[in-house]
């Protein structure tokens, strides 16, 4: 039986090099720039739309919480860098995103969206969110269709759970785990103690 090879959690994140806009300037960004940090790849369909600015702004407003746990964010769409620049130069009240705390990447040739398997038939990126760990491996992926935005708080929760599990290889994080909550020890006797406590 032939099995199609799709990108999965646990895989090495596909590398990229692309032009981004940050602080009103163009710059090149590469996946390798972020080794040693966690990276939130935030794909979205298009600039100057409806749901997209709500997500882009919400992640920017919580940027310090990501930085506090050694994480960076890259927003990615199939728009050009010039479109990104115009969007960031327009204030929020007028449909823009204003000054953002993180870069917006131009995927005009759609190679990033293709390599992360989120390009839809219309040539737009779906709302794909990937958490790449500090060694460059995908630890979490979430894909929404175009009409539904993502939760910044849930992204932060999942990121912290990943970091906890990686720092404590004998523990796993149960449903709705939050920092400070009990985790489950990965042996039968200890796990029974956890389940008795809930």
Cite the active site residues. Answer: 52
List the structure tokens of 177. 């785990």
CA torsion, ordered 55, 68, 29, 48, to nearest 10 deg:
10
Instruction: Output b/e per residue, 152-175; b: 16+ Cβ within 10 A.
Output: beebbbbbbbbbbbeeeeebbbee
Tokens 């992926």 belong to: 141
Category of 146 on φ-ψ map: left (φ > 0), alpha (ψ -120 to 50) or beta: alpha
């Amino acid at each position: 039986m032939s099995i199609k090879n799709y990108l999965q959690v646990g895989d090495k994140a596909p590398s990229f090099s692309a032009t981004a806009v940050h602080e009103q300037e163009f710059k090149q960004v590469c996946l390798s720039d972020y080794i040693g940090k966690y990276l939130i790849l935030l794909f979205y369909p298009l600039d100057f739309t409806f749901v997209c600015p709500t997500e882009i702004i919400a992640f920017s407003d919580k940027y310090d919480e990501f930085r506090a746990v050694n994480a960076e964010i890259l927003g990615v769409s199939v728009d050009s860098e010039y479109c990104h620049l115009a969007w960031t130069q327009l204030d929020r009240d007028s449909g823009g995103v204003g000054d953002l705390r993180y870069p917006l990447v131009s995927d005009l040739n759609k190679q990033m969206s293709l390599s992360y398997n989120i390009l839809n038939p219309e040539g737009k990126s779906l709302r794909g969110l990937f958490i790449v760990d500090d060694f460059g491996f995908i630890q979490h992926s979430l894909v929404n269709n175009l009409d539904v935005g993502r939760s910044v708080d849930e992204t932060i929760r999942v990121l912290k759970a990943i970091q906890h599990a990686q720092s404590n290889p004998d523990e796993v994080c149960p449903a709705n785990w939050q920092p400070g909550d009990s985790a489950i020890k990965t042996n039968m006797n200890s796990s029974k103690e956890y389940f008795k406590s809930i």
